[in-house]
Copies of this chain bind each other. A is one copy, B any other.
Amino acid sequence: LKKQRVTLKTIADSLGITVATVSRALKDYPDISAKTKKAVLDLAEKLDYQPNLLAQRLRGNLSKTVGIIIPEIVHHFFSSVISGIIEYADEQGYSVFLTQSNELMEQEKNIAKKLFAAGVDGVLVSLSDETSSVEHLKKFLEYGIPVVQFDKVNFDFPTSTIIVDDFKGGLDATQHLINQGCKNILHIRGLDLPNNAIGRFNGYKKALENNGIPFREKYVLQCERVIQEEGYRLVKETLESNMKVDGVFAITDMVAIGAAKAIEEAGLQIPKDIAIVGFSNSEITKYFNPNISSIHQPGFEMGKQALEILLREVEWSNKNIEYKPSHKVLKTHLEARASSLRK
């Protein structure tokens, strides 16, 4: 014998009034008599009435749901972002429709359709590494559904963005290696498209320039996918080719760890022979031996702020208020550890 869910009707019938009155009493409308209000509130409390969210949302033409498209859930940085989003969504009475693209543009397209069908009020997206066009996301804007891009964004797509200062991160990482005496610094970069790969690369270049170190194309290696194995492969090949290397700035911590393995296998010492800096300051940097220096990226904060921006725009959109996309850049900082500290 299943219990039946308590609705406005349950309360109304039991009190001999209409659902309209019950609804108003619960929502503290001014015109309700004190007596009725008390009766309704007491009974609602007693029966543990919970409004049906689906009905409220359908009626209000608002789903109170936001979609998130993320490249990978099993990932320290992204799961931190998710955690920030969920916490703030909860505070604001929003539900979150979480999806992952697995870094594939095709999946991103399918997901976009589903989110649209689900009637989300807004979308938070971090683009896949493959995403070369954002056609599949334009539909949201056409229907007045705000989109906020975070971490991996396309600046040609006119939405708000929130990223970390990848340029500054790349600059700081490289300057730190130079300060430690490195002169032949390898940069293992990411794919062509993602702004974070570009920003970090530009920071690397600028740091060399600032210190009068010539930029050499062959000191920039590109991952086919941003994974540990690629860091390992690229550094192994480089060391076997007898290129002179005394520092490595890797696009991510996992790539840095791959590099570290190749360096150790070559019989070289970290940081004495080759110093290493990664990016993200993920948990793993503190457990790998040697501890990996890294650029800290505030994931939780990014998630929270991305949703703040989005919900503000959702409100504006509902009120038909025109707004301009905003562009936020969160600060990064270097956490110098054993992998680069030569002292």
Within 8 A of B (CB), among A92-138: 95-100, 113-114, 116-119
Contact digits for A238-250, partner B, Cβ 8 Å, 1 yes 0 no: 0000000000000
Is A38 interfacial (CB-CB < 8 Å)?
Answer: no
Is A312 interfacial (CB-CB < 8 Å)?
Answer: no
Is A45 interfacial (CB-CB < 8 Å)?
Answer: no
Contact digits for A1-23, partner B, Cβ 8 Å, 1 yes 0 no: 01111000000000000000000
Which of A48-56, A150-158, A163-171, A208-216 contacts the other chain?
A48-56
Q: What is the CA–CA distance of A99 and B83 in the complex, to the nearest angstrom?
A: 9
Is A288 interfacial (CB-CB < 8 Å)?
Answer: yes
Q: Are B52 and A119 in contact (CB under 8 A)?
A: yes
Which of A74-82, A179-187, A327-335 contacts the other chain?
A74-82
Across the interface, name the chain B residue whose C-beta is closest to A142: B3
Contacts of A97 in B (CB 8 A): 95-96
Q: What is the CA–CA distance of A139 and B80 in the complex, to the nearest angstrom?
A: 31
Q: Are B5 and A143 in contact (CB under 8 A)?
A: yes
Q: Are A86 and B73 in contact (CB under 8 A)?
A: yes
How many positions in chain A have a CB within 8 Å of any CB in the partner chain? 48
Given A79-B73, A117-B51, A119-B53, A86 and B58 contact (CB-CB distance below 8 Å): no
Given A2-B143, A54-B57, A100 and B83 contact (CB-CB distance below 8 Å): yes
Q: Are B95 and A118 in contact (CB under 8 A)?
A: yes
Is A144 interfacial (CB-CB < 8 Å)?
Answer: yes
The smallest beta-carbon distance between A308 and chain B, in angstroms, is 19
Q: What is the CA–CA distance of A135 and B76 in the complex, to the nearest angstrom?
A: 33
Contacts of A2 in B (CB 8 A): 142-144, 317, 320
Is A284 interfacial (CB-CB < 8 Å)?
Answer: yes
Q: What is the CA–CA distance of A5 and B96 in the complex, to the nearest angstrom?
A: 21
Q: What is the CA–CA distance of A83 and B74 in the complex, to the nearest angstrom?
A: 7
Given A57-B54, A74-B80, A257-B287, A99 and B119 contact (CB-CB distance below 8 Å): no
Contacts of A86 in B (CB 8 A): 73, 98-100
Is A289 interfacial (CB-CB < 8 Å)?
Answer: yes
Q: Are A113 and B50 in contact (CB under 8 A)?
A: yes
Q: What is the CA–CA distance of A113 and B99 in the complex, to the nearest angstrom?
A: 24
Is A31 interfacial (CB-CB < 8 Å)?
Answer: no
Q: What is the CA–CA distance of A326 and B97 in the complex, to the nearest angstrom?
A: 29
Beyond A54-B58, A96-B98, 20 extra complex contacts between A and B, CB < 8 Å: A3-B142, A4-B143, A50-B113, A53-B117, A54-B63, A58-B58, A73-B79, A73-B83, A73-B86, A82-B98, A83-B100, A86-B100, A90-B99, A95-B118, A96-B97, A98-B98, A283-B284, A287-B287, A288-B289, A289-B289
